[in-house]
Chain A
Amino acid sequence: MAPPEEYRRYWRANLRYLAILLTIWFAVSFGCGILFVDQLNQFRIGGAKLGFWFAQQGSIYAFVVLIFVYVYLMNRLDAEFGVGE
């Protein structure tokens, strides 16, 4: 196992990524798709109201991107701290 100090830094960096990514996760789905759907519906994307689009399409695209970004960030972090496999 990595020395305790290194280990704590690795874990804190991981938690920071999680906090940022989960904030975006919450914002695109619960935020844009549910809580602020009426406000966003005043805008349009193509032939759809924006809030409706987030609820039925946009949030799903964002979820996919979020996971791939997470994978990229974590692989970089693993390499930086030498804890990868």
Chain B
Amino acid sequence: MDVQTWTYLIVGATFLLYIGIAVWARAGSTSEFYVAGGGVHPIANGMATAADWMSAASFISMAGIISFAGYDGAVYLMGWTGGYVLLALLLAPYLRKFGKFTVPDFIGDRYYSNVARTVAVICAIIVSFTYVAGQMRGVGLVFSRFLEVEINTGVYIGTVVVFFYAIMGGMKGITYTQVAQYCVLIFAYMVPAIFISLQMTDHLIPQLGFLADVNDGSGVALLDKLDQLHTELGFAEYTDGTKSTVDVFAITLALMAGTAGLPHVIVRFFTVPRVKDARISAGWALLFIAVLYTTAPAIAAFARTNLITTISERPYTELPGWFSKWEETALVAWVDKNNDGVVQYAPGPPFVGDVDQQRPAGGGARVQGASGQALLHNEPTDNPNEVYIDRDIMVLANPEIAGLPAWVIALVAAGGLAAALSTAAGLLLVISTAVSRDLMRKQIKPNMSEAEELWWARGGAAVAVLVAAYFGVNPPGFVAATVALAFGLAAASFFPAIVLGIFDRRMNRAGAVAGMVVGTVLMFGYMAVYRLGWFVEEVPAPETWWFGISPEGFGSVAMVVNLVVALVISRFTPPPPEDVQEMVETIRIPRGAGAASMH
């Protein structure tokens, strides 16, 4: 069977599985819709959290980003895992004991303020939409690359599937679907990794292959060989990196605090029966996530070595078939600057702008150059580099680069879809909950029946799916900036407000609201000026960054400012009411948690 048939078969089978689970686990009450009735086993919840957390970006792009960034890639590896330690130690058990359904619920009750609740709702919705748009796009990309349908058709198919199981099943359907999706995606990620590790180092476990010698008889360690290759071609050493220490520090911290403050992650800890289970399920979640996150740097190093040795200083006509195949999708490109027919790979962009292939007038695949390569419209740059390689190719084309069987390639497609769908569903639920509960019940229509609230929740999810599909088809140009913004915002707004709400009994409404507003505005402002170039002539150069910290890392500065503002203002304003202080004492001890409740 060829790759195409395998892909239809495997993707079709997994989709049937997801829908089957959704029908079996459909939600009958608001409690089941919001938090799966609060009865999910910690290990199942850990898997669901892991699938929820690992998005299309983790699955498709992360290994590629690390592959090109080398040491600097560690900011994502540590940032997106270290946040779980904060979550497990500082947030999850206490929020579980608090026993409501959402993050705005906590903010609103703890700070006895509908203003705070509304600020939290708005932040939750912005963060979730930012994220979900990228997921729908990811679904479209996987479809277009593996099944050769239009990207937009892919987005529509993904929308229908998510629509079906998120709206029917609510949190209950999503949780059990995510368990299945975790299994699919981790299997799909590990199989090629293990194959390649065996091929290059004879080690079955990629994490060990990462530390081993390459098996070409030279006795050189893989990472040393990679450093050598990098130095020869004029790149910085792979294990060294190029970002400044202060920026690496700031980005890592912002991603950690952002992870712990993301509403769709926090809400997962409301679904387990007891406080004890909330703690342990954060542990399981991180363990399941760590399997992928410790494999990614290994894949990155293997793929980078493979790539350089396969293409550098080789005549184009002798390159393996995958290069030409992925040229079709514009994920790789070659411009023969010196007309020697040989591929030269070096630092710097090979040409100006995005790949823009020449097309024959009568239609058809491409206009071919002397060696058969696709010719481009792009203006070449004057550095010696001749190759463009999209980072996503490191995972998507890895099985082909390593010459793995067709079913493994199909598996990667199914895994990418599982990662994107599971994250999209979790985010949609946060949006729908924000609408039905935090806005409708708490602020607009407090007396509605449970059945009515459930309809609002489903309606909210339906609208959210459609808006997400719209953004998937028409991706806003600032998506990359907004994902960083999502983490920065979560770090600068939610994280300090929740931690202070638990650990500082004296924290009051004035302090928390001032802190959140100042943190959020600062984060927005810095991102707007230094990343998007708003309010100024052009995007300012990195030399002008405050303290040398990039917009991606600025969330950590905004977070510290939030903390300081909140602490200072709270000490000059009246303490919170007696009943709120009592509530803080109650959430600090596990006994008497009960199910997540309506009141």
Contact = CB atoms under 8 A, between A and B. Distances in A.
A and B interact: yes
Nearest to A53: B211
Contacts of A45: 211
A75 B590 CA distance: 10
A68 B89 CA distance: 11
B589 A7 contact: yes
Contact of B74 (A7, A33, A78): A33
Interface residues of B, number: 52
Given A46-B221, A84-B276, A52 B282 contact: no
Interface in B238-272: 239, 245, 248-249, 252-253
B290 to A, nearest CB: 5
B85 interface: yes
Contacts of A25: 82, 85-86
Contacts of A67: 84-85, 88-89, 279, 282-283, 286
B283 A85 contact: no
Between B245, B287, B589, the greatest number of chain A beta carbons within 10 A of the residue's beta carbon is seen for B589
A29 B82 contact: yes
Contacts of B73: 56
Nearest to B591: A83
Contacts of A85: 274-276, 590-593
Given A2-B589, A59-B78, A71 B280 contact: yes
Between B74, B86, B286, B592, the greatest number of chain A beta carbons within 10 A of the residue's beta carbon is seen for B74
Contacts of B294: 57, 60-61
Contacts of A53: 211
A43 interface: no
A66 B88 CA distance: 10
B82 A41 contact: no
Interface string A1-41: 11000010011001000100110010001100111010001
Interface string A63-83: 110111011001100100001
Top 4 closest pairs, chain A to chain B, by CB: A47-B221, A46-B211, A55-B74, A67-B283
27 contacts: A1-B585, A7-B588, A10-B589, A25-B82, A29-B252, A30-B253, A33-B78, A35-B249, A47-B211, A47-B222, A48-B221, A49-B223, A55-B77, A57-B207, A57-B210, A57-B297, A60-B81, A63-B81, A67-B85, A67-B88, A67-B89, A71-B88, A74-B93, A75-B276, A83-B590, A84-B276, A85-B592
Given A48-B210, A63-B286, A67-B85, 19 more contacts: A1-B585, A7-B589, A22-B85, A25-B85, A29-B78, A45-B211, A46-B221, A47-B212, A49-B239, A56-B77, A60-B77, A60-B81, A63-B81, A63-B290, A64-B283, A66-B85, A67-B279, A83-B589, A85-B593
